[in-house]
Chains A and B, each alone.
Chain A
């Protein structure tokens, strides 16, 4: 097997912005003193006049983006998820969400794979926060290919979009000729009959690995990649749940309010089946390497495999 290519989705974000800069002259990128980390520095290098560093003032950056968008710009605001969605929540809600302005929020360093910086910077609540804002689209790409496609799709879409990227390099899993990104459409990656694993972001790779391990035990797992958490592809999930009758969700996020909750919302109304939510179990993270944390919090292939098995054996 060839070596797996690994790229951090924040890197994809910066590259996609720079690529789209040529095609979209109204695209402007705002940062809050993190251009090196969020990778908007790549865009800055290509289009310095369209990169606006707001200093360490995320709330003001959000308002500036709102004002820019009313004048026809397509602003991306960039910061760590903790600040882009957390510190900023009310600005996003009132200055962007309520007037439904065409502002995109590029949140990097989401989840526990921030790693060594520890819990203060590991945002496991952003999906919940952003999902609750009326009219907000929420996208969590699983790899480089998807992240780049998502950035372009967000630009082409008129309205507020929250995009969630990670710090750590993750395997490229969507590098196939027929890959197509469609906002709001889930991707059926593996067909199965015994259990449905719905995953998002970096956990899609873990779900695929878990499905391979389950197969060796004679368990047929269906794997769905939900890159758009809102609007959720309910049809795909309901259809799969109707077939397998058991659903496991996996996300690098709190099990409160994220993908797992979104899936439960849909299934409780349309196809009530047992659901196991894997993710951060209502706890804060801690310092450590990204891989050590993913292993400890059972979001790697092995952890997901074991938890799915335990769920099925109940």
Chain B
């Protein structure tokens, strides 16, 4: 549940989600669930000309399993907190 808890701290922030089909979507994180499914609002595509069908979509749900990366806003990463949470998780906490 570490990353679920972490992504909840990012709600309301702008993130970029890179999908396994090479789509790259930037938007405001609306919500996340325990499967790391992600809902984004006010989305923008890195390459809109290649995916014109996405222009009619403003808000979307991304299935967690198709995510390759999430690019995180630098100001929202507290490495000490992440280290502590990771050690707690590794102990089975």
Q: Decide whether A and B assemble into one complex.
A: no
**A residues lining the B interface (CB < 8 Å):** none
**B residues lining the A interface (CB < 8 Å):** none
